Amino acid sequence: MRKGTNGLPVFSSRLLATCLLLVPAVLHGFPIFYMLSVSFKEAAEAYKFPPSLLPSHPVLTNYSDALNAAPLWQFMLNSLIAALGITAIQMLTSILAAYALARIEFKGRKIVLGFVVAMLMVPSEITIVPNYLMMVRTGLIDTHLALIAPFSASAFGIFLLYQFFSGVPRELEEAAIVDGASRMRFLFQILVPVSMPAIVAFGVFAFVSAWNQYLWPLVVTQSTAMRTVQVGVGMFRSEQEATSWGMVMAATSILVLPSIALFIATQKQFVRGLVSSGAGVKG
């Protein structure tokens, strides 16, 4: 592209790009906008043809109906417990493992590293059935632990942190050894704070990934009280009876809002985590 004196592309290209982007952006944002719009519509208006863009008489009844129809707060709590649990354990185990791989010279290091990289390529479907059977056998179906346990270790986390730790200058460690610090102290008092951006990026990414899971929570929870947000929202989708779309959209709004808010707040870190997950597979 041609660049002007300020290093940015020429004004005309920028303007053109802005205009061209309006259409896809509007189309892309429309579903979310429309969901909100329908959620405030009265029941009859939601079915009206032709459908209106905005509600003519906005109402809040859909929201109260949605809250009465299913325990939405319970869903969010379940998702929160599961996602936080997964993120915490993943972070802990990954930090420990990545440190060993990055910083300790030991026999078999290359093998373990290769093993972790191999684990990155394993799709989750191959583990579903046996993990499910394990949960059934141990009576853990329909519990929070079942939502957390199978995801407590993350090859991606280990690999990401391994790459980051490897890049941290050795002098820090040598200084710590001179000061008489143990490995643990070095890890948690020096290496981790220094690596905070990467760790937080991983944490955010892990949290969002866990929050967005669908298949495993669907399979491993039985009662409504244990459902997560994603499975819970799906309960509002009913095929045969005429659904109250206003209420469905209200429920979706309530349940999707935390994700959108969290995403906007942590966009930078999330994207960083996302890119690293790609970089991991890229090799």
CB of 200 to another protein, least distance (A): 5
Contact by Cβ (8 Å): 66, 244: no
CB of 191 to another protein, least distance (A): 12
Strand, coil or helix: 182: coil
DSSP state of 241: S
**Binding-site size, another protein (CB under 8 A):** 132
Nearer to another protein, 125 or 171 (CB): 125
Nearer to another protein, 57 or 278 (CB): 278
CB of 39 to another protein, least distance (A): 10
CB of 67 to another protein, least distance (A): 16
Q: How far apart are the first and last CA of the chain?
A: 30
Residue 124: other Cβ atoms inside 10 A? 12
* Residue 247 binds another protein (CB under 8 A): no
Whole-angstrom Cα distance, residue 235 to residue 238? 7
CB of 212 to another protein, least distance (A): 3
Window of 40-48, 54-62, 163-171, 172-180 that interacts with another protein by CB under 8 A: 40-48
Window of 62-70, 163-171, 172-180, 237-245 that interacts with another protein by CB under 8 A: 237-245
Binding to another protein (CB under 8 A) within 46-65 occurs at 46-51
Query: Cβ neighbours of residue 166 under 8 Å, at least 6 residues apart?
Result: 102
* Residue 111 binds another protein (CB under 8 A): no
* Residue 3 binds another protein (CB under 8 A): yes
Cα-flanking dihedrals φ and ψ of residue 262, to 5°? -60, -40
Window of 62-70, 76-84, 165-173 that interacts with another protein by CB under 8 A: 76-84
CB of 241 to another protein, least distance (A): 9
From residue 116 to residue 135, the character string flagging contacts with another protein as x (rule: CB under 8 A) and all else as - is: ---x-xxxxxxxxxxxxxx-
* Residue 170 binds another protein (CB under 8 A): no
Nearer to another protein, 55 or 85 (CB): 85
Cα-flanking dihedrals φ and ψ of residue 121, to 5°? -95, 0
Strand, coil or helix: 231: helix
* Residue 275 binds another protein (CB under 8 A): yes
Whole-angstrom Cα distance, residue 256 to residue 258? 6
What sections of the chain are H helices per DSSP? 11-39, 43-47, 61-69, 72-103, 109-120, 125-137, 144-148, 155-167, 170-178, 183-186, 192-194, 196-211, 215-220, 229-234, 245-265, 267-282
CB of 61 to another protein, least distance (A): 17
From residue 83 to residue 102, the character string flagging contacts with another protein as x (rule: CB under 8 A) and all else as - is: -xx-xxx-xxxx-xx-xxx-
Strand, coil or helix: 96: helix
Whole-angstrom Cα distance, residue 204 to residue 206? 5
